[in-house]
Each structure stands twice: as structure tokens, then as C-alpha cells.
Amino acid sequence: MQVHEKLYINGAWVAPKGTDKIEVIDPSTEQVCGVVPAGNGGDVDDAVAAAKAAFATWSQTSAQERSNFIKMLSEKVTENAAKIGELCATELGTPLQTSIGMHGGLGIGVTSSYIDLPFEMEKEEEIGNSIVVKEPIGVCAFITPWNFPLHQILAKLSPALAAGCTVVVKPSSDTPLTAYYLAELLDEIGLPAGVFNLVTGPGRTVGEAMCIHPDVDMVSITGSTEAGVRVAELAAGTVKRVAQELGGKSAMVALEDADMAEVGARAGGGICGNSGQVCAALSRLIVPRSGQAEAVAAAKAAAESVVVGGAFEEGVVMGPVSSRAQQETVTDYIRKGVEEGATLVTGGPEMPEGRNVGFFVKPTVFADVTSDMAIAQEEIFGPVLCVIPYDTEEEAIEIANDSVFGLSGAVFAADPERGKAAARQIRTGQVSVNGGAFNVAAPFGGYKQSGNGRELGPHGIAEFVELKAIQM
């Protein structure tokens, strides 16, 4: 068990202002696997003061200096991918080998993609008699979720460092151990004091104190839409910039010429990735009515082939969901789907066979889902796939866009050009065609209630930049 008694502020491990603690629960075993401090507003004040003081010098460093630090961080993440995977497996429940490849691998990909981007800050643009220059926005507060404990911090931290910003991070109370390890790595590379600060604690105290603090220039949150709305409301009082990467209910659209068996298998297995706890999860499979039976059969077979178990058990493909509360949320939605009249193809609200400890959920597939059902509209954030039949391609696009969310999506078609044409009609921040791979250098973010702003790659750094026009 890991016990952390201090916070990381101004380049040092310091005692928190209060004495409250947060217990971290291993979702595979329901045992306490860690303890961290529950910080408060006073800790936030100290962290922000450190970040503000550090900004004066860090913002003036050369692009080469910042690039060197990002490169050192990338090397540290690469060297310690196994340790990162072990931490995520313990506090989140992702199967160990998957965790090393996914959580460690994403960390490597994101940080390495930013090594050369500090030099973007040195580029100037001439418009008539004006010179437009880029400057870092200032002190940034990051509120990050539990489903990708390292990636969601690095996706914000990497561009912030590249731009010349300083940061205060509040990780999720469910998965703070990985954030502590990241702080240790940043300390090892000698990142200047105050550039990175870590304050753990409840969102209602630490998170809200960050949002209203007059010396915080920007807040970036990844979380639920409800949390994003609350952050925007609090930040409005001091007119902060707010970047939000929020919920999703993404659709996988199979056009009539697609291979229904392939699409169904991809959807049934894919929804189990990270136990379905992925904001961009393709949780709605939209198929031609004539092809629903074939797609559903393949989805059922794929879901039933997924081995569910503890993160450190041999051969496990899907671990538990993150917490008891999340388990109850997911199983309540499964019950609601049955009540709404959807056809339960496989899975259900009961614990997987042979499991009575841990926050496990059966991979679940519903067929005959209609767009007006709660399971088709609301983010479940678990291994639950909804198959929705359509009669025309126009109706398929309409169903895909019939959501308050707009984060991700996918299209499958025998004709790639036809697939690309359909992808252009789906109102989401990302769409893959025929299984196009996730790209850490491409912008990631949402339309509608999935958020504002973009993360990753050159477009991600823009969120941390102020533009200044110098008239000559």
C-alpha cells in the first residue's frame, strides 16, 4: 500500500494544511491500496502562489530549454512504462499488460509528440503593420479524471510546458497514485520549482478553489458534462479561459455495404476497452435493419469472449469498473435498458459468474434500441453496447447526430470515399473511417456538450497561448 502524506508544491514535498485523508480503493479487490492527503483552499493558495512566481521565469525560457525538459520527461515515462502500468492496474483496475501498453504507451506517445512544439511559440506572423506574437496564458489549473490517470494529465501538461505555462494539478481522488508518481518523475528531471504543483483533494474544495482563484488564468477539465458546467460557472467570475473535454455517446455507423460481422465484432469487443470507461467509447452501433441480426450475433460473440477478472490475474481482458458507485451506475442503466424494452442480448446487471468481490460488470449488448431510450442518450461509461437499427443512410446520420454529445464516432463502409462522406456529416470532434487508428498528434475534443477546445498536437498548444499584436 502506498501512503503519501505530503503535497508537491514549489518543487518540494510539503505538509498539507489540514489532516484529512483520502483512501484509494483497489477496484479488483475492494481493499485500500493507497492513502493521500485531502488538501484544502489554503493548499491551493500556496500552489497557485508558487506557480505564479515560477511563471515569471519559466515563461521567458527558450523553446530549446522547454523542449529539453519535455524530452527528459518523455524518456522518464518510457523508462518507467511498466511501473506506470502497475499503478494504473492497481488503482483503476485495468489488466496489467493492457495497462502497460495503454496507459504507459499513451503517456509515451503524448509527451514525445510535444518535444518539438515549443518552437511553435517563436513563430511570428506579419499582418500589415502588425507583428502577431505568441505568449503563454499564465497559471493553469488542471482537473483530471480517473479513467486515464496519466494520459489526462500529460495531455494538458505537455502543451502547457511547451507554451511556457505553469500548472497546478488536481487529479481524481479515485486514482491519485499515478499523479504522485508523475510528480516524482518531474522532480527527478529537475523541472524548476513551481512549474508543476500537485494538490490532491475533493473537487468541491480543491477544484472549486482553483476555479475561483484570481491568480489562475486558465482551467482545463476532463470529466463529466455536469462537472464541466460547474467549472465554467465558477471560472466566469474572473473571466478565465476554460477548456473542457467532457462526456460522450459516440456512434459507430455501419453503412449498408459494410461487413456486418466485422463491425459487430469490433463494437462488441471495443466497448470493453478500459471497462467501457472511455469518453470516446463507441457505445452506439448503428446498423441497417436488414443487417442487425448478423451484427448483433457478432457483437454477442465478441462480448462473451472477453475474459473478466482482477487486474493482476492471468489472461484477463477486462477488469472491474473504477468504484462501487460506478458499478451501481452501470448496472442501473442495464436495468433501465431492460425496462425500456431493449432486447438484452448478453450480459446483464448481475456480477460475472464466480465473482463476489470487486466492482465487476458483465460485458453487455442491447439490440432493438431506439434513439429515445435513456441508454441511447445518456453516457453509461461502462461495457454496455446499444445496437440501433436504421432504414436509410440519411436516418443513420440523423441517429448518430441525435445526441447532446459530439466527441467521437466511426463509420464503416466497403467504399472508403463513401465512408469519408458520411464521416463529414457526423457532428463530432473526431471520426474514424474503417478503423482508422487514434492519432496523438491530431486534435481531440468535442462539439456540443462534449466540451470546448482541443487537446493533443499543435492544436492542443493553442489552448495555452495568448496572441499579441504589436503595431509598428
Catalytic machinery residues: 245, 279
* Residue of 411, 414, 412 lying closest to 431 (CA atoms): 411
Assign residue 453 a region (left: φ > 0; alpha: ψ between -120 and 50; beta: otherwise): left
For 191, the grid coordinates are 523541472
The partner residues of 452 in beta bridges, in order of sequence, read 244
Q: What dihedral angle (degrees, nearest 10) is formed by the CA atoms of 140, 144, 148, 154? A: 10
Q: What angle do CA 156, 157, 163 make, to 5 degrees?
A: 95
For 318, the grid coordinates are 477486462
Assign residue 396 a region (left: φ > 0; alpha: ψ between -120 and 50; beta: otherwise): alpha
Contact predicate 320/359, CB 8 Å: yes
Q: Which residues of 81-94 are buried (b: 16+ CB within 10 A; e: fewer)?
A: beebbbbbbbbbbb
In sequence order, what DSSP letters do the residues of 237-253 get, joined into one string?
Answer: TTT-EEEEE----EEEE
In whole angstroms, what is the distance from residue 166 CA to residue 49 CA? 11
In whole angstroms, what is the distance from residue 43 CA to residue 181 CA? 19
Residue 159: burial class (beta carbons within 10 Å; 0-12, 13-18, 19+): buried
* Number of helical H runs and strand E runs in the chain: 16, 21
